[in-house]
Amino acid sequence: MKTLSTGDYIVFFIYFLIVSFYGYWIYKRKHNADATSKDYFLAEGSLTWWAIGASLIASNISAEQFIGTSGSAFKMGLAISTYEWMAAATLIIVAIFFIPIYLKNKIFTMPQFLHQRYNGTVAMVMAIFWLLLYIVVNLMSILYLGALAISGISGLDIYLCIGLLAVFAVIITLGGMKVIGYTDVIQVFVLILGGLAATYIALGELSKNAADHSLLSGLKILHSEATDHFHMIFDKSNSNYMEMPGLSVLIGGMIIVNLNYWGCNQYITQRALGADLKTARAGILFAAFLKLLMPVIVVLPGIAAYVLHERGYFHKEMLSSKGVIDYNKAYPSLLNLLPTYLKGLSFAALTAAIVASLAGKANSIATIFTLDIYKKAINPEATDKNLVKLGKWSVVVAMALGVILSLIIGETLMGEGKQGFQYIQEYTGFVSPGIFAMFILGFFWKKATSNAALFATIGGFIFSVFFKLLPRFSNLEFLSPYGFSKLALQNDKITYLYEIPFIDRMGFVFLLCVIGMYIISKIDAAKGIKTNGLEIDASMFKTSRAFTAGALIVGGIIVALYSFFW
């Protein structure tokens, strides 16, 4: 039944009041009327390691994970966990190699890095691009998928849900990064507790008729009834190969997806850029451990929903208006099985994930617009007080634009029958290879030039579009080792078309961008064009014994998981 009981609403409002009052207490306790813009946007020196780690996860886990990842798990199984487990490995790399460079060179925003390493043109182009990406893709998708889920659980109108989510997120965001960071600790606690409750009930439902009515029994039944859903690496015979193309999820494009997201993304790195190196690394390591846990919360429920659906549960709830299975409805349908109070807790967890992610995204939008566009190009003499005020207005405007876009095109792009999480990953992948190439060479190759960086930014997008459209205009056999063959009717003749999985496509585009940057940089060097290197020395990458031990544990767990579920 798509409704919340009085008990569920009580649980939800307790969560709402705790987050609101705690956020207000943090704001009053740590707010300084003369606070600098960096203090407001970055909470410079104020976040502890556990607040940084929790905020990273709270900002990352949102509607696209609860709804999109669970929907993908319903369809393809445990393989979608590669986004979580490879992220844990990526976070270790970012903590060791990326964060020291940012902190040593006093870099607080990604456009600032591009300005310092390349030039103002590259920085401004990317600042505008990131604003568009964050608003048009991220804010819009989080609002729409989040409202879709909440509507599916509560029965409230989806448009009302979009508006309420936006208002709640704006209230949190206006307090600045300190409020976001510390309230995210509560958000993550509720997120994990509510997510585990949903998994517990799902496994209990599976084992309720078994002799041994336990979690372990539920896991055994889940594995036995959905054996094909417990493989991490697909071969080409698998119908899901296009989304998860074999070993590429380990050594190919998936590495680019994660390194770009966790290491070159203002939305994420902003949490650690206001801390010292030791605190930042500890927070990121904490986030890596939490990432290992995420599939229990967002993937197992999707597989459980698949098994329950096969048993005859919620057939009507899972159908779209066109009568086909809508994967986005897997998690909301599962939550409707929960009893009173637990359903309210899971509803609060879902809301916490969505609001935390929206708040983090809105804060990053305000940071980039205020510090990298307004301060540099519009009003260089602006005071810190004016920048903070403008940042708050930027939050409101950005959220309003996100609401409008979700109302206009949300249904078209991520509506019924579509895998929302995979949609976001694929279309973000049109630009991530070029951005990552620009960053990685900017970090570790001092000869990379601004012309080469512009090539990676623009050329990477063009290459991505080319590889996406190429199969539509050809049936070239040379693509077959890299893509997925399918029958198609062309000019009344049956032929084979070869599509390139988007994860593989990102790998190809990244290599082309690196090669192009190398050639252009060599040409620029011959012309005598100078570059702006960063301050880097080997000692920056040394880690403490505690961090090294934690990183080895994370790595060992990942190796064990892939070995067991290969």
The two three-digit tokens of residue 342, written as one number: 């637990």
Q: Which CATH number does the domain 6-27+47-428+536-565 belong to among 1.20.1730.10, 3.40.190.10, 1.20.120.80, 1.10.10.60?
A: 1.20.1730.10
Q: Cα separation of 353 and 66, whole Å?
A: 8
CB 308 within 8 A of CB 334: yes
∠ CA 8-11-14, nearest 5°, is 145
- Map out the domains of the chain as residue ranges: 6-27+47-428+536-565, 436-535
The two three-digit tokens of residue 505, written as one number: 């496509």
∠ CA 95-97-98, nearest 5°, is 75
The two three-digit tokens of residue 58, written as one number: 């709270």
**271: nearest Cα among 256, 258, 257, 284:** 284
pTM (predicted TM-score): 0.80
- H helices, E strands: number in the chain: 27, 2
Tens digits of pLDDT across the chain (566 residues) = 457 788 888 888 888 888 778 777 877 776 555 555 656 665 555 678 888 888 788 777 776 677 778 888 888 889 889 889 999 999 999 999 999 988 888 888 788 888 888 988 888 888 888 888 888 878 888 888 788 778 877 778 888 988 988 888 888 777 666 667 677 777 777 777 777 887 888 888 888 777 677 778 888 888 888 888 888 888 878 877 877 887 887 887 888 888 988 888 876 777 677 778 899 899 999 999 999 988 988 898 889 888 888 887 776 666 666 666 777 777 777 777 778 887 888 778 778 778 877 887 888 888 888 888 888 888 888 887 888 888 889 889 999 998 998 888 766 665 554 555 556 666 677 888 898 999 999 988 989 999 999 999 888 888 888 887 776 655 554 444 445 444 444 444 444 445 677 788 888 899 999 999 999 999 999 988 888 878 888 888 899 999 999 999 999 999 999 998 88
**63: nearest Cα among 152, 124, 193:** 152
Q: Cα separation of 383 and 374, whole Å?
A: 11
